[in-house]
Copies of this chain bind each other. A is one copy, B any other.
Amino acid sequence: MIIVLKQNPSQEKVEQLSAALRDLGLTLHFSQGVSTSLIGLVGDTSRINIDMIEANEIVESVKRVSEPYKAANRKFHPQDTVVNVNGCKIGEGFLSVIAGPCSVESEEQIIEVAKAVKASGAKFLRGGAFKPRTSPYAFQGLHGEGIKLLLKAKKEVHMPIVTELMSLNHLDLFSDVDVIQVGARNMQNFEMLKELGHSNKPILLKRGLANTIEEFLMSAEYIMAGGNENVILCERGIRTFEPSTRNTLDLSAVPMLKHLSHLPVVIDPSHATGIPWMVKPLSKAAISAGADALMIEVHNNPACALCDGAQSLTPEAFDDVMNAVKAQAKFENKII
């Protein structure tokens, strides 16, 4: 960390600040210039309160040099993390597909979709029981009943299930869920992240619509700091000025996340674009960019879906996407 001092600071104040910093166990290096003076801090700066330093009257600005996350940082954990869910793996060397409807709507629906996506090669079943909807008047999911239907489908098709948690109050209902999803809108629901850090279940953490990659990794760090190292990162589109797709899929986040962190990375082209015909080219591109898994919405009757129907693939269209995905995975020497 580098502290840039204001012009001509009082020597006394510089010494006060220096003493406070040394008290934090840091070593200081001074660099005195004609118009600018710097203090370089050496040591563990990840727990330093930048705000407090910036508020000091002799400080112009503070610049971080090293990343503020540790558990999620590849520098301290060079090997790729592979998350193992009942034998289904997400991480380096594998290409896993998570598929299913946006919302669980009925026993028939979820089982029909589950069988279809399994037949096409998906490894995980997704489905929402609690649905984050912009409008209070929109369908909000079947809640506990939805979880039960997911578990029935799991029993029927023997696939691990992934479903979203929207409130810690519902956590008890998730005891048989295999992977807990934290949605984009809750990426910085820190109380939820802390609690999930004490869980032993894999967490699929979605990037917030307007969160930087560093903030994304800091949210992973919240979970990991609690002891749960099974975090799966999911890029699902960021908010930009471009209106032709629902969000803008940031595929450059794949190599960047894998460079900065050892955690596996999933791409969700369905939510990112909101457009079914874009799922295939962007799934292929995601694999080429290095993604470890894909998350794709499939509905047996998109035009009657109670939520996000417009972005769902039919089972037939999903099968076509999966053929392309399998060929691409094979080309990349990934196990699918």
Contacts and interface: CB of A to CB of B under 8 A. Distances in A.
A248 B252 contact: yes
B49 A307 contact: yes
A194 B136 contact: yes
Nearest to A251: B251
Interface string A231-261: 0000000111111110011111111100110
A168 interface: yes
Given A167-B192, A208-B210, 18 more contacts: A31-B38, A31-B40, A38-B38, A46-B137, A51-B308, A56-B303, A60-B65, A69-B135, A136-B194, A167-B168, A212-B242, A213-B244, A214-B243, A240-B248, A248-B250, A252-B272, A255-B277, A284-B289
A186 B225 CA distance: 22
Nearest to A55: B309
B218 A191 contact: no
Contact of A190 (B2, B132, B209, B252): B132
How many chain A residues sit at the interface, stated as a range, is 35 or more
Interface in A187-241: 188-194, 208-210, 212-215, 218, 221-222, 225-226, 238-241
A79 interface: no
A245 B252 contact: yes
A209 B2 CA distance: 28
Contacts of A222: 136
Tell which of A30, A169, A252, A309 has the most Cβ of chain B within 10 Å: A252
Tell which of A61, A65, A308 has the most Cβ of chain B within 10 Å: A65
26 contacts: A2-B2, A27-B33, A31-B38, A31-B40, A36-B42, A46-B135, A49-B139, A52-B303, A61-B65, A134-B215, A136-B194, A166-B189, A185-B188, A212-B242, A214-B243, A238-B248, A239-B241, A240-B248, A240-B250, A241-B241, A252-B272, A254-B281, A254-B285, A255-B278, A284-B288, A288-B328
